[in-house]
A and B are shown apart, each in its own frame.
Chain A
Amino acid sequence: MIRARGLSLANMWVAIIAFTIASAMALMQALSRADLDLPFRTAKMYYLSVTAHGVLMALVFTTFFIMCLGYVVAERTLERPISNPRFAWISFWIAVVGTALASWAILWGKATVLYTFYPPLKAHPLFYIGATLLIVGSWGWCWVMIRTYLAWKKEAGGARIPLPMLGMLSAVIVWLIATVGVAAEALLQLIPWSLGISETIDPVLARMLFWYFGHPLVYFWLIPAYVIWYTVTPKVAGGKLFSDPLARVVFILFILLSTPVGFHHQFMDPGVQAGWKLFHAFNTSLILYPSLITAFTVVASFEIAGRMKGATGLFDWLEKLPWGNPIFSSVALSMLLFAVGGLGGAINMAYGMNAMVHNTAWIQGHFHLTVGTASALTFMGACYWLLPRLTGRDLELKLLAIIQPYLWFMGMLMFSFSNHLTGLQGMPRRIYDFSYGGSPIAAEWTQGTYMSALGGIFLYASAVCFVAVMFGSLLAGPKKELTPIDFAEPLEPPGDKARVLDKLWIWVLIAVVLVIAAYAIPLIQHLSMERFGAPGVRVY
């Protein structure tokens, strides 16, 4: 029984509501790719909806779901109530108020600056203040998670940190390191400038701070998905986790390598020296390693499940897996697509090749496989897992839940494949219209964009299924006994193996040193050069 289940559920519902709005926004963008003459389709609406989709999906849906999962994991695996639940509720409300303010600014057309909000495009001050409050609220969550862990540690007498908790703690650490960048950008640059206190702003500095945050942000999305992959899915599949210590290695590597890589988003930027970009490119290739390990360990855990159910051949264990269970299928399908997304990421970070794909449709093709599938589809599957266990109501409209991951998979295949392709053909990302004055070069993109639109329709159908199951279960799900929240056992318990992996302070210290090595000198060089600020512009 989870004591903080009200709090967890509150976080989950904010995530689901954000998802509901954001996915509706995406439908309109997808249809824009088919160039349909819809009555509500204008440039203003298009860019507004791209902003809303990005902010609500990437920052709101993910963060609130992760906070929900964090509280559940902390209480269940540490077997104690979270520390200071009152403070946790206050933090939740701060994050909700921040989200509401930023959403108001976006939906009322006062912040059409996309979710990357690069200055000197200027938004309403409440957009920046709201986003900052969301992050402040999430810091409250971090504090509660750490307090709960420390209270447990004091009494645990040298017990190993439960693996799911180690994963969530690494997400907390990555988030705390990452948000320093965006907090600095918001507090020192964006908020004073949007309020008129400072006249001008340095856009390259803002981009450096944003991407200092923006890349570890993707691991903040990914690590909780890995927690599900490692510690929930093998259990759901009826098997065991292949290797506990290696899973720990993966989470620790994320703590170390998530942040000193941000310049790979700025390869094409003026004002940042090539040498530092190269250093970040090398760091980025190292961070592929934990994901390659994960691909092996999680698939091996699925094989164990198949074999425990009697499979003996080379591949027949695949048939024994519960493909009709959406908790399992969502993870298995998101892993398949993530494999492609990971390889695409290797192309993006390849210093020279990046010029071919930077800011093209390739990029949205890429990150809809990573955050849009590896994280989002896993989180949806995790909602099917969590909701009955937190509410005591079984899933309603189960058939929709069963087909939903497959719809997402098919839609994403079409969407992502076509966007990778049109990206290589040079089509820029996030554009309302792609005719470019009837250019024959732009006309080559059309076939791909139609496929992308079709993929978008499948994805939206999948999103509708998910939302229907969630609200259906909330309102009419048949009451049943609370199913316990159980995590996968490892093949062999970690025992005393690699205990150093549990000494988190060592890894935090090394991570901070790496961040300083990657950022201190370029930041100092940047700040000491003669720079000219840019005044704000509002053109939306």
Chain B
Amino acid sequence: MHIDPYEKFWLWGAALIIVVFLVSIGATTFGAAIQPPSHVETIDPTSVMSDPRFSETGVTINADGSATVRVVALMFGFIPGEIRVPRGVPVTFRITSPDVIHGFQIVQTNGNSMVVPGYVTQFTTRFDRAGEYLIVCNEYCGLGHHGMFAKMFVEDGLGAATGGAE
């Protein structure tokens, strides 16, 4: 097949662009361990509140200084509605829904995940800036969807003693 020289140049250039994309995705995935939230764990959505995994919601500061946050996302709010986490440490969120699909997005951070009834969402991230954050539901969940939000405060000096649940 005859291929025009300009076209040949473009075809190779385009292939190169795609190789660059593939390599950069591979490098961030395996090099920097950046993975989207892909935890696989199921839960009965009709008994979320009595399930031991979610009977106590809120923030737990672990022995190594990291934090675990348990959240129930439901129409139309988050339990707890106010979250305080320490700055600069790994924070693991565990979230589920007893009703419909919700989103859990910590605005202007990479904390973003779907919350699906029947499944437990889990992801770990870190907040380096202290201050107030907005958490919103970003998946349509009914007429009150736009009213579904929570506040998060990233604070210094939140140790095991001052932490604890909501």
Residues of chain A having any CB pair with chain B under 8 Å = 43-44, 47, 50, 112, 114, 118, 120-121, 202-204, 207, 242-243, 245-246, 266-274, 277-278, 281-282, 285-286, 288-289, 292-293, 296-297, 300, 346, 350-352, 354-356, 358-360, 425-434, 436-437, 439-442, 492, 497-498, 529-535, 537, 539-540
B143 at the interface (CB under 8 A from A): yes
Residue from A207, A286, A356 in contact with B112 in the complex, judged by beta carbons closer than 8 Å: A356
Task: Give complex CA distance A492, B141 in Å.
Answer: 55
Task: Give complex CA distance A293, B11 in Å.
Answer: 7
Q: Would A272 and B38 count as touching, CB distance under 8 A?
A: yes
A488 smallest CB distance to B (angstroms): 17
Residues of chain B having any CB pair with chain A under 8 Å = 1-4, 6-7, 10-11, 14-15, 17-18, 21-22, 24-25, 28-29, 32, 34-46, 75, 99-101, 103, 105, 107-108, 110-122, 132-134, 136-147, 149
A-B pairs with lowest CB-CB distance, top 8: A539-B142, A426-B107, A292-B14, A428-B138, A352-B34, A359-B138, A274-B38, A534-B117
Residues from chain B with a CB closer than 8 A to the CB of A270 are 37-41, 113-116, 119-122
Residues from chain B with a CB closer than 8 A to the CB of A430 are 140
Q: Would A203 and B116 count as touching, CB distance under 8 A?
A: yes
Whether A296 touches B37, Cβ cut-off 8 Å, given contacts A358-B138, A441-B133, is no
Q: Would A425 and B108 count as touching, CB distance under 8 A?
A: yes
A271 smallest CB distance to B (angstroms): 4
Q: Would A271 and B119 count as touching, CB distance under 8 A?
A: yes
A514 smallest CB distance to B (angstroms): 17
Residues from chain A with a CB closer than 8 A to the CB of B41 are 270
Q: Would B138 and A271 count as touching, CB distance under 8 A?
A: no
Residues from chain B with a CB closer than 8 A to the CB of A530 are 42
Q: Would A360 and B105 count as touching, CB distance under 8 A?
A: yes
Q: Would A352 and B28 count as touching, CB distance under 8 A?
A: yes
Supply 26 A–B pairs (Cβ within 8 Å), ascending by A.
Answer: A118-B101, A204-B119, A242-B7, A243-B3, A246-B7, A269-B114, A270-B114, A270-B122, A273-B38, A278-B25, A289-B14, A296-B14, A300-B6, A351-B35, A352-B34, A426-B108, A430-B140, A432-B146, A439-B149, A441-B133, A498-B1, A530-B42, A531-B118, A539-B100, A539-B143, A540-B142
Q: Which residue of B lies closest to A437 (CB)?
A: B149
Residue from B21, B38, B147 in contact with A350 in the complex, judged by beta carbons closer than 8 Å: B21
Residues from chain A with a CB closer than 8 A to the CB of B7 are 242-243, 246, 296-297, 300
Residues from chain B with a CB closer than 8 A to the CB of A121 are 100-101, 140-142
Q: Would A296 and B39 count as touching, CB distance under 8 A?
A: no
Q: Would A277 and B4 count as touching, CB distance under 8 A?
A: no
Residues from chain B with a CB closer than 8 A to the CB of A44 are 143
Task: Give complex CA distance A293, B147 in Å.
Answer: 45
Task: Give complex CA distance A205, B41 in Å.
Answer: 14
Task: Give complex CA distance A268, B111 in Å.
Answer: 10
Residues from chain A with a CB closer than 8 A to the CB of B117 are 120, 203, 534
B77 smallest CB distance to A (angstroms): 11
Q: Would B17 and A537 count as touching, CB distance under 8 A?
A: no
Q: Would A428 and B119 count as touching, CB distance under 8 A?
A: no
A307 smallest CB distance to B (angstroms): 14
Task: Give complex CA distance A427, B105 in Å.
Answer: 10
Whether A243 touches B4, Cβ cut-off 8 Å, given contacts A271-B42, A285-B25, is yes
Whether A434 touches B146, Cβ cut-off 8 Å, given contacts A204-B119, A351-B36, A428-B103, is yes
B97 smallest CB distance to A (angstroms): 8
Q: A44-B143, A268-B36 are in contact. List 13 more A-B contacts (CB 8 A).
A: A114-B140, A120-B99, A207-B116, A243-B3, A271-B116, A278-B29, A289-B18, A292-B18, A296-B14, A351-B29, A360-B138, A426-B136, A437-B149
Q: Would A539 and B25 count as touching, CB distance under 8 A?
A: no
Task: Give complex CA distance A534, B119 in Å.
Answer: 10
Q: Would B34 and A351 count as touching, CB distance under 8 A?
A: yes
Q: Would A277 and B134 count as touching, CB distance under 8 A?
A: no
Q: Would A359 and B134 count as touching, CB distance under 8 A?
A: no
Residues from chain B with a CB closer than 8 A to the CB of A439 are 134, 149
Q: Would A355 and B100 count as touching, CB distance under 8 A?
A: no
Most buried by B among A112, A292, A300: A292
B78 smallest CB distance to A (angstroms): 12
Q: Which residue of B lies closest to A278 (CB)?
A: B29
Task: Give complex CA distance A93, B135 in Å.
Answer: 47
Q: Would A271 and B36 count as touching, CB distance under 8 A?
A: no
Most buried by B among A114, A268, A492, A535: A268
Whether A296 touches B15, Cβ cut-off 8 Å, given contacts A114-B140, A532-B45, is no
Task: Give complex CA distance A338, B22 in Å.
Answer: 22
Q: Would A532 and B118 count as touching, CB distance under 8 A?
A: yes
Q: Which residue of A lies closest to B46 (CB)?
A: A535
Residue from B6, B38, B46 in contact with A277 in the complex, judged by beta carbons closer than 8 Å: B38
B118 smallest CB distance to A (angstroms): 5
Residues from chain A with a CB closer than 8 A to the CB of B144 are 43, 539
Residues from chain A with a CB closer than 8 A to the CB of B17 are 288, 292
Residues from chain A with a CB closer than 8 A to the CB of B140 are 47, 50, 114, 121, 430
Task: Give complex CA distance A441, B144 in Å.
Answer: 20
B17 smallest CB distance to A (angstroms): 7
Q: Would A354 and B36 count as touching, CB distance under 8 A?
A: yes
Residue from A242, A293, A537 in contact with B100 in the complex, judged by beta carbons closer than 8 Å: A537
Residues from chain A with a CB closer than 8 A to the CB of B46 are 532, 535
